[in-house]
Amino acid sequence: MLNEQIMIDGEFYKNLLDNVHDGIYYVDRDRKIKYWNKVAEELTGYKSSEVLGNYCFDNLLMDIDSEGVDLCKERCPLVEAISDGHPREVELYFHHKDGHRVPVIVRVAPMRDSRGEITGAVEVFTDNSARVAILQRLQDCEKMALLDPLTNLPNRRYIEMNLDSRLDEMHRYGWTFGVLFIDIDHFKKINDRYGHEVGDEVLNMIGKTLLTNLRPFDILGRWGGEELIAIIVNVDEQQLYSTANRFRLLVEHSGLHRGSDIVRATISIGATLSQASDTIDTLLKRADQLMYRSKTSGRNRVSMKLDE
């Protein structure tokens, strides 16, 4: 009867944890993954059958912070919680099975037995993207035929409409904004080596990485080919640079698993704030020139000044 009751209780708690809105997993003291709930599957793309019995230091999710530090090798919150017995909360970015980076808020707590000995740790993670607002905006774009069919991002027409609105606001109220002109480095080489289908997947991976790490009131769209444009509002020059560099780091640490290969890409970015005299053409021309400066300076970088 006791064993039967334990099994019933265990199934009850498993069903309970499978139906919460957060991803949850548990590791023992050796950091072997012992439990992985349904939401963890949805947020990461990995089924429990793919992760149970593996170790978190196998770098499955390849967690990084906003500075690009690999948290599986340094400052791992699970290791720290097991070591000192204190819970902690951090913001980080994990690597989705499909290749893109997802922002999450992670809460870690040590687990103890009846004697108070630490037996492992539980990690709860919550999607930190403004996904609902973004999806609604994309649905609106789709209704208006303003969506790029390959990436499901706003298309050139939508970007031009949004820039026109932002420039009008700037001229009326003095509200400046930032533009990021983003180009995928060596995209032709990716297409030539892996084929255009994988090239399309890389483009989608980068689009998803940037989109899920964008504030709900900012815009990311496909300008054409391998070029993307982001419109970032309510920022000064330093904030715009920080946003651009964060995007660069997240893309650099993303990758598609294709057989034994991991297909990686980097981006070059031109970043500029709008000026009182700007038109759409002058603003985009300046951002494009800055992007080209990043290309000629070695790629995988952000440029903000034309006179450097």
- List the catalytic residues: 226
Residue 202: closest CA among 214, 185, 215, 218: 185
To which H or E segment does residue 118 belong?
Answer: strand 118-127
3-state secondary structure 166-206: HHHHHHHHCCCEEEEEEEECCHHHHHHHHCHHHHHHHHHHH
Which single residue is written with the structure tokens 């970043």? Answer: 271
Residue 243: closest CA among 162, 182, 169: 182
Residues 256-264: contacts with CB within 8 Å, 24+ apart? Answer: 256/98, 256/99, 256/198, 256/201, 256/202, 256/205, 257/97, 257/99, 258/194, 258/198, 261/194, 263/99, 263/190, 263/194, 263/198, 263/201, 263/202
Q: How is residue 137 written in tokens?
A: 């905006």
For residues 185 and 86, give the distance between their C-alpha atoms in angstroms, rounded to a whole number: 43
